[in-house]
Amino acid sequence: MAELDQTPANPGGARAKKLSTRVDLTAMVDLAFLLVTFFMLTTSLSKPVVLALTKPDSPDPGGVAASRTVTLCLGKNDQLVYYRGTIEEPIDAPRTAGYTREGLRQALLTASAKIKQQTGKQMIVVVKPSDHSIYNNLVNTLDELAITKSNIYAVADITQPDIDLLKKNNVY
Protein backbone atom coordinates (compact mmCIF):
# COMPACT_ATOMS: atom_id res chain seq x y z
CA MET A 1 0.00 0.00 0.00
CA ALA A 2 1.38 3.44 -0.91
CA GLU A 3 1.21 5.94 1.92
CA LEU A 4 2.20 9.48 2.65
CA ASP A 5 3.42 9.68 6.26
CA GLN A 6 4.25 13.00 7.86
CA THR A 7 5.88 13.03 11.29
CA PRO A 8 5.62 16.05 13.60
CA ALA A 9 7.99 18.90 12.77
CA ASN A 10 9.19 19.20 16.39
CA PRO A 11 8.86 15.77 18.05
CA GLY A 12 10.07 16.80 21.51
CA GLY A 13 8.62 20.30 21.56
CA ALA A 14 6.45 21.84 24.27
CA ARG A 15 3.77 22.87 21.91
CA ALA A 16 0.70 20.95 21.02
CA LYS A 17 1.21 17.50 19.76
CA LYS A 18 0.70 17.12 15.98
CA LEU A 19 -0.78 13.94 14.64
CA SER A 20 0.66 12.28 11.56
CA THR A 21 -1.28 12.64 8.33
CA ARG A 22 -1.77 9.46 6.37
CA VAL A 23 -3.09 9.55 2.80
CA ASP A 24 -3.74 6.29 1.03
CA LEU A 25 -2.47 6.66 -2.58
CA THR A 26 -3.49 3.21 -3.83
CA ALA A 27 -6.57 4.49 -5.64
CA MET A 28 -4.56 7.24 -7.37
CA VAL A 29 -1.95 4.74 -8.59
CA ASP A 30 -4.71 2.45 -9.91
CA LEU A 31 -6.31 5.39 -11.72
CA ALA A 32 -2.98 6.41 -13.27
CA PHE A 33 -2.40 2.89 -14.63
CA LEU A 34 -5.94 2.75 -15.97
CA LEU A 35 -5.47 6.07 -17.78
CA VAL A 36 -2.10 5.00 -19.23
CA THR A 37 -3.62 1.73 -20.42
CA PHE A 38 -6.62 3.53 -21.94
CA PHE A 39 -4.48 5.99 -23.92
CA MET A 40 -2.08 3.29 -25.08
CA LEU A 41 -4.92 1.19 -26.47
CA THR A 42 -6.94 4.00 -28.06
CA THR A 43 -4.16 6.09 -29.63
CA SER A 44 -2.93 5.42 -33.15
CA LEU A 45 0.42 6.97 -34.01
CA SER A 46 0.34 6.98 -37.80
CA LYS A 47 -1.59 4.91 -40.23
CA PRO A 48 0.22 3.45 -43.26
CA VAL A 49 -0.68 4.98 -46.59
CA VAL A 50 -1.37 2.58 -49.41
CA LEU A 51 -0.64 3.46 -53.01
CA ALA A 52 -3.63 2.63 -55.20
CA LEU A 53 -2.77 0.37 -58.13
CA THR A 54 -5.54 -0.33 -60.61
CA LYS A 55 -5.43 -3.47 -62.69
CA PRO A 56 -7.29 -3.92 -66.00
CA ASP A 57 -10.41 -6.03 -66.14
CA SER A 58 -9.30 -8.17 -69.07
CA PRO A 59 -5.91 -9.82 -69.51
CA ASP A 60 -5.77 -8.73 -73.19
CA PRO A 61 -4.24 -5.24 -73.38
CA GLY A 62 -5.65 -2.80 -75.86
CA GLY A 63 -3.65 -1.07 -78.59
CA VAL A 64 -1.46 1.79 -77.47
CA ALA A 65 0.16 4.40 -79.70
CA ALA A 66 3.96 3.99 -79.66
CA SER A 67 4.39 7.75 -80.00
CA ARG A 68 2.78 8.22 -76.57
CA THR A 69 4.57 5.33 -74.81
CA VAL A 70 7.62 5.66 -72.56
CA THR A 71 9.08 2.40 -71.22
CA LEU A 72 11.08 2.30 -67.98
CA CYS A 73 13.26 -0.82 -67.55
CA LEU A 74 14.41 -1.02 -63.94
CA GLY A 75 17.90 -2.45 -63.44
CA LYS A 76 20.50 -2.91 -60.73
CA ASN A 77 22.43 -0.32 -58.67
CA ASP A 78 19.46 2.08 -58.56
CA GLN A 79 19.62 2.64 -62.32
CA LEU A 80 17.06 2.34 -65.09
CA VAL A 81 16.96 2.58 -68.87
CA TYR A 82 14.11 4.43 -70.54
CA TYR A 83 13.06 4.88 -74.13
CA ARG A 84 10.12 6.26 -76.07
CA GLY A 85 8.32 4.11 -78.62
CA THR A 86 8.99 0.42 -79.05
CA ILE A 87 12.21 -1.48 -78.37
CA GLU A 88 12.49 -2.39 -82.07
CA GLU A 89 11.93 1.19 -83.31
CA PRO A 90 12.55 3.68 -80.48
CA ILE A 91 11.50 7.26 -81.17
CA ASP A 92 14.03 8.55 -78.65
CA ALA A 93 17.29 6.67 -78.09
CA PRO A 94 17.44 4.60 -74.88
CA ARG A 95 19.07 6.47 -71.98
CA THR A 96 20.21 5.53 -68.49
CA ALA A 97 19.02 7.46 -65.43
CA GLY A 98 18.91 7.23 -61.65
CA TYR A 99 16.06 7.84 -59.24
CA THR A 100 17.08 11.42 -58.41
CA ARG A 101 15.29 14.66 -59.16
CA GLU A 102 17.62 15.27 -62.11
CA GLY A 103 17.32 11.67 -63.30
CA LEU A 104 13.95 9.97 -63.56
CA ARG A 105 11.81 12.96 -62.63
CA GLN A 106 13.41 15.21 -65.24
CA ALA A 107 13.17 12.46 -67.86
CA LEU A 108 9.46 11.99 -67.17
CA LEU A 109 8.75 15.73 -67.27
CA THR A 110 10.69 16.17 -70.51
CA ALA A 111 9.06 13.19 -72.22
CA SER A 112 5.60 14.24 -71.05
CA ALA A 113 6.03 17.76 -72.39
CA LYS A 114 7.36 16.45 -75.73
CA ILE A 115 4.46 13.99 -76.11
CA LYS A 116 1.89 16.62 -75.14
CA GLN A 117 3.35 19.02 -77.72
CA GLN A 118 3.49 16.43 -80.53
CA THR A 119 0.26 14.48 -79.96
CA GLY A 120 -1.82 16.67 -77.69
CA LYS A 121 -2.45 13.69 -75.41
CA GLN A 122 -1.04 12.35 -72.14
CA MET A 123 2.01 10.13 -71.87
CA ILE A 124 1.61 6.40 -71.25
CA VAL A 125 4.32 4.84 -69.08
CA VAL A 126 5.16 1.13 -68.99
CA VAL A 127 7.27 0.09 -65.98
CA LYS A 128 9.23 -3.15 -66.39
CA PRO A 129 11.17 -4.23 -63.28
CA SER A 130 13.98 -6.71 -63.90
CA ASP A 131 15.16 -9.54 -61.68
CA HIS A 132 18.08 -7.38 -60.51
CA SER A 133 16.00 -4.39 -59.43
CA ILE A 134 14.82 -4.10 -55.85
CA TYR A 135 11.32 -3.41 -54.57
CA ASN A 136 12.35 0.08 -53.46
CA ASN A 137 13.12 0.95 -57.10
CA LEU A 138 9.55 0.11 -58.12
CA VAL A 139 8.15 2.16 -55.23
CA ASN A 140 10.39 5.12 -56.13
CA THR A 141 9.28 4.87 -59.75
CA LEU A 142 5.61 4.88 -58.78
CA ASP A 143 6.26 7.84 -56.48
CA GLU A 144 7.92 9.76 -59.33
CA LEU A 145 4.96 8.97 -61.57
CA ALA A 146 2.65 10.42 -58.92
CA ILE A 147 4.85 13.51 -58.45
CA THR A 148 4.99 14.21 -62.19
CA LYS A 149 1.25 13.56 -62.50
CA SER A 150 1.73 10.75 -65.01
CA ASN A 151 -1.62 9.11 -64.40
CA ILE A 152 -1.57 6.53 -67.19
CA TYR A 153 0.91 3.77 -66.41
CA ALA A 154 1.20 0.01 -66.22
CA VAL A 155 3.56 -2.42 -64.53
CA ALA A 156 4.47 -5.21 -66.95
CA ASP A 157 6.82 -8.17 -67.13
CA ILE A 158 10.20 -7.48 -68.65
CA THR A 159 10.94 -9.04 -72.05
CA GLN A 160 14.18 -10.48 -73.42
CA PRO A 161 14.88 -7.47 -75.72
CA ASP A 162 14.55 -5.19 -72.68
CA ILE A 163 16.96 -7.41 -70.72
CA ASP A 164 19.41 -7.22 -73.62
CA LEU A 165 19.09 -3.41 -73.56
CA LEU A 166 19.83 -3.38 -69.81
CA LYS A 167 22.88 -5.60 -70.38
CA LYS A 168 24.10 -3.31 -73.16
CA ASN A 169 23.92 -0.33 -70.77
CA ASN A 170 25.57 -2.30 -67.89
CA VAL A 171 22.45 -2.02 -65.74
CA TYR A 172 21.46 -5.70 -65.62
pLDDT of residue 64: 74
The confidence band for 20, taking pLDDT boundaries of 50, 70 and 90, is: confident
Tell how far CA 140 is from the center of its chain: 7
- CA angle at 137 for the pair 134 and 140, rounded to the nearest 5°: 150
User: What is the reported pLDDT for 42?
Assistant: 87
Whether the pLDDT of residue 12 is over 90: the answer is no
Residue 135 lies in a domain: yes
Q: Are 95 and 107 in contact (CB under 8 A)?
A: yes
Count: domains in the chain: 1
- Mean pLDDT for the stretch of residues 89-110: 89
pTM as predicted = 0.65
Q: To the nearest whole number, what is the mean pLDDT of the chain?
A: 84
Q: Report yes or no on 159 lying in a domain.
A: yes
| Residue 99: CATH number of its domain | 3.30.420.40
pLDDT tens for each residue of 59-75:
665 677 888 999 999 99
On whether residue 144 sits in a domain, the answer given is yes
Q: Is there a domain that residue 29 lies in?
A: no
Angle at 80 between CA 65 and CA 145, to 5 degrees: 60
Give a yes or no: residue 143 inside a domain: yes
pLDDT in tens, 116-142: 999 889 999 999 999 989 999 999 999
Q: Do the domain assignments include residue 60? A: no
Is 47 within the bounds of a domain? no
What pLDDT, on the 0 to 100 scale, is given for residue 5? Answer: 57
Alpha carbon 93 to its chain centroid, in Å, reads: 30
> Quick check: 3 pLDDT over 70?
no
Helix (H, G, I), strand (E, B) or coil at 6: strand
Full domain range(s) for residue 88: 66-168
80 part of a folded domain: yes
Which residue stretches of the chain are H helix? 26-42, 106-119, 135-147, 160-168
CB 64 within 8 Å of CB 58? no
Q: How far apart are CA 59 and CA 139, in angstroms?
A: 23
